Homo-oligomer: A and B are copies of this chain.
Amino acid sequence: MEPEQLKGHLDGLILAVLAPAPLHGYAVIEALKLRSGGELALPEGTVYPALHRLERDGLLESDWTADSGRRRRVYGLTARGRSELGLRRERWRSFAATIDAVLA
C-alpha cells in the first residue's frame, strides 16, 4: 500500500470502524487491519494524530478509562461524526466511480 494513496481517505475509514461501537485507539488500528483483511496495517503515528484531528473537529469524542492500571482512551462518534460518515461514504463512491471511468 503506497502511503500517498490513502491521503484524504483515512478519516472516513476511522469513522466507519467506530460506527458499530466505540473503541480505544489501539483497537481502532486492529479493527482497520481486521476489516481490511490485513491490507491496512497502519502505524500508530498515522492513526493517533488522525483521532485527535477528528475529535478536534467534533466528529469524535473520547473518554479515558483505567481498567487495572492500564489507561485507554475510548473514542465514539458524535452526531456530527455519524452524519459526516454518510457524506464520506457518498464522496468515496463518487470518487471511486470517477477513477474507474478514467482508468478503465
Interface residues of A (CB under 8 A from B): 1-9, 12-13, 16-17, 32, 35-37, 39-40, 88-89, 91-92, 94-96, 98-103
A7-B8, A8-B6 given; A99·B92 CB < 8 A: yes
Number of copies: 2
The interface residues of chain B lying within 8 Å CB-to-CB of A6 are 8
Using CB atoms, name the residue of chain B closest to A38.
B98
The 7 closest A-B pairs by CB, nearest first: A4-B8, A5-B8, A7-B7, A39-B98, A35-B102, A13-B102, A4-B7
22 contacts between A and B (CB under 8 A): A1-B98, A3-B8, A4-B8, A5-B8, A5-B9, A7-B8, A9-B99, A13-B99, A13-B102, A16-B102, A17-B102, A35-B102, A36-B101, A36-B102, A37-B101, A39-B94, A40-B102, A88-B103, A89-B103, A92-B99, A92-B103, A96-B100
